[in-house]
Amino acid sequence: MSQIFPSAPVDHWSNLLWAVGSPGITGSLESSFLPTTLPWLPEKRRKRLLEYFAQSQVNKKLSPQLEAFLQHYSERKPTSRLGVYFERLWAFVFEHHPDYQLLHHNLPLRIAGKTLGELDFVVRHLPSDTCEHWEVAVKFYLQLPGHFWIGPGLRDRLDIKLRRMAEHQLPLIRRPEVVHLLQDLNLKIEQQWTLIPGRLFYALEGPAKARGKLSKRQMQFWWADPDSFNLYLSTFPQYQSLRWFYLPKPTWLAPLQPDLASESHSDELPKALDKAPVDRPLCIAAKDKSGEVCRGFIVPKHWYPEALASLPGH
């Protein structure tokens, strides 16, 4: 697909700003649909992080350092996993924001040779002089019936992720053997935070249904099989003049920049899909002169039946 249709370039600094400034993925969902509650990072803390890194002088000073930091990590431990890239952005954030001291990143909890788990980050919040444990993740889920949300690769589900974080990852530090281990490391964790930004993509059910069922936000983030997407694209006049991009995983975070150039028109996307039949979920986005308009996943025709079969009761 990337050889047929233009790929969006990776902008690490924009991704960093998106990582620190984005609200949790569950913010747009009704609480009754969520399996548990978690200690979400307060908005005030997110705002302070974003305000610092959004300063032009900070960008000028640290942007080259971020490039070198990520390059160093990539050479030492190459990976294509988006979650690892996201954690590396946060490691840089904790090392450079004046409010934080990074104590541990991916701290393994091993007892008698057995690994019980690991802590994503242990940091000291300097303004409050508090030792904090942070669990961070970035997630992208597609809508299914029954208020279920599943990852494009069908290996991850929102309710399972939240429940595991609440019932396993966070309580780890309260297990007696882990308490002793942390004491040996001279760590007394006083606060825990969770942070899971990402996007929820709503099903396109065809143009007629979409008009009646999907809100403006739902039209902005969608998923569809190739036939449904082509029908949708040809039905809505406002999408005829957009420029479309294929999004490799590192570009799933920040929105497309307004100055991003492309000669691709909307009528070229169906042709590109015909030349490269969709055999796995593809993330694409469209922009106009002001910036990104929408993005979504085009999935193979067999994706939806397989997604349904993975749900409880199927």
CA of residue 109 relative to chain centroid, distance: 26
Alpha helix (H) residue ranges in 77-116 = 82-96
Taking residues 31-50, report their average pLDDT: 85
Residue type, 205: E
- Tell me: do 148 and 122 sit in the same domain: yes
**Domain limits at 211?**
202-309
Q: Do 90 and 142 contact (CB within 8 A), yes or no?
A: no
pLDDT band of residue 249 (cuts 50, 70, 90) is: very high
- Tell me: do 192 and 239 sit in the same domain: no
pTM to 2 decimals? 0.91
DSSP 8-state class, residue 22: P
- Tell me: do 119 and 84 sit in the same domain: yes
pLDDT digits (tens, 9 = 90+) for 225-243: 988 888 877 777 677 678 8
- Residues with Cβ < 8 Å from 189, sequence gap 6 or more? 122, 131, 132, 133, 173, 182
Domain membership of residue 246 (yes or no) is yes
- Tell me: do 18 and 158 sit in the same domain: yes
Q: What is the predicted pLDDT for the residue at 75?
A: 81
State what percent of residues in the chain have pLDDT above 90.
62
What is the DSSP annotation of 272-284?
Answer: HHHHS--SS-EEE
DSSP 8-state class, residue 301: T
Q: What is the predicted pLDDT for the residue at 109?
A: 93
State what percent of residues in the chain have pLDDT above 70.
85
- Tell me: do 226 and 107 sit in the same domain: no
Matching residue, tokens 């370039």 = 9
Domain membership of residue 179 (yes or no) is yes
Q: Do 196 and 26 contact (CB within 8 A), yes or no?
A: yes
- Tell me: do 255 and 132 sit in the same domain: no
106 torsion bin: left (phi>0), alpha (psi -120 to 50), beta (else): left
Please indicate whether residue 29 or residue 136 has the higher confidence score (pLDDT). Answer: 136
Burial status of residue 102 (CB atoms within 10 A of its CB: 0-12, 13-18, 19 or more): middle
Domain membership of residue 7 (yes or no) is no
Domain membership of residue 78 (yes or no) is yes
Average pLDDT, the chain: 87
Alpha-carbon gap, residue 308 to 314, rounded angstroms: 7
**29-38, 85-94, 291-300 — which is least confidently predicted?**
29-38
Task: Please name which of 93, 98, 144 lies closest in space to residue 121, comparing C-alpha atoms.
Answer: 93
pLDDT of 162 above 90: yes
Give the residue from 198, 228, 262 where a domain finishes.
198
Domain membership of residue 30 (yes or no) is yes
**24-28, 61-65, 148-152, 259-263 — which is least confidently predicted?**
259-263
pLDDT of 87 above 90: yes
What is the number of structural domains in the chain?
2
Taking residues 122-151, report their average pLDDT: 96
Domain membership of residue 223 (yes or no) is yes
pLDDT band of residue 47 (cuts 50, 70, 90) is: very high
Matching residue, tokens 């991916």 = 106
Domain membership of residue 6 (yes or no) is no
Domain membership of residue 190 (yes or no) is yes
Give the residue from 168, 198, 228 where a domain finishes.
198
- Tell me: do 21 and 146 sit in the same domain: yes
- Tell me: do 17 and 125 sit in the same domain: yes
The bridge status of strand 114-125 relative to strand 100-111 is antiparallel
pLDDT of 94 above 70: yes
Taking residues 199-228, report their average pLDDT: 73
- Tell me: do 94 and 117 sit in the same domain: yes
Q: What is the predicted pLDDT for the residue at 118?
A: 94
Q: Which of 66-70, 212-216, 275-279 has the highest mean pLDDT?
A: 66-70
Give the residue from 181, 198, 215 where a domain finishes.
198
Q: Do 224 and 298 contact (CB within 8 A), yes or no?
A: yes
- Tell me: do 148 and 68 sit in the same domain: yes
Taking residues 252-279, report their average pLDDT: 72
- Tell me: do 162 and 189 sit in the same domain: yes
- Tell me: do 291 and 218 sit in the same domain: yes
pLDDT band of residue 211 (cuts 50, 70, 90) is: very low
